[in-house]
Amino acid sequence: MDLSTFVRDIPNFPKEGILFKDITPLLSNSEALSNCLQTLVTNSPEKVDKVIGIEARGFFFGTALAEKLGAGFVPVRKKGKLPYKTISESYNLEYGDDTLEIHKDAIQKGEKVLIHDDVLATGGTAAAVTKLVKQLGGEIVQYSFLIELNFLNGKDKLDAPIYSLLNY
């Protein structure tokens, strides 16, 4: 199945000059959704203790990946969205700045972590999450993305294997 046919381009979103890759058509098709999840699982490491899903689109497959891999799920959210004690990391992305947070007790020292998000663009978001995981003592075993925008070279900011389902 060619999953790229379920990704539509939205020009000038969220701001002028950005070509947004919209995955909602993929999410709304049960066959594409199932195929996507199975491909992500097949291309994941065997031993994962925690799967991190990055707000918000990383939650779509992050929780399902965690369940299929027999791992726990950890949400990383924007500042002020998590109810317990957190640590935070600020970062730049292609259209602004933001801050991400994780619960202080979400990752235990030595746990093997898979970081999942929908798109790898400039790498700023994933690099910020990397700092959070390392601060808590986790070991990143893989980054997992639905889409990688190769021309932005985001992978250069990451220090573990990367699996991207679709490359543009």
Would you say residue 51 lies in a domain?
A: yes
57 noted as active-site residue: yes
Q: Which domain holds residue 153?
A: 45-167
Among residues 57, 67, 89, 148, the one annotated as catalytic is: 57
Residue at 70 is within a domain:
yes
Q: Is residue 38 part of a domain?
A: no
| Buried-exposed string 67-95: b where 16+ CB fall within 10 A, e elsewhere | ebbebbbbbbbeeeebeeebeebebeebe
What's the number of domains the chain is made of? 1
Question: Is 20 a domain residue?
Answer: no
Is 36 within a domain? no
Q: Is pLDDT at 84 greater than 90 in this prediction?
A: yes
The pLDDT tens digits for 132-154 are: 999 999 999 999 999 999 999 99
159 found inside a domain: yes
Whether this prediction's pTM lies above 0.85 is answered by yes
* 94 assigned to active site: yes
Selecting among 94, 111, 139, 148, the annotated active-site residue is: 94
> Is the model's pLDDT at 67 over the cut of 90?
yes
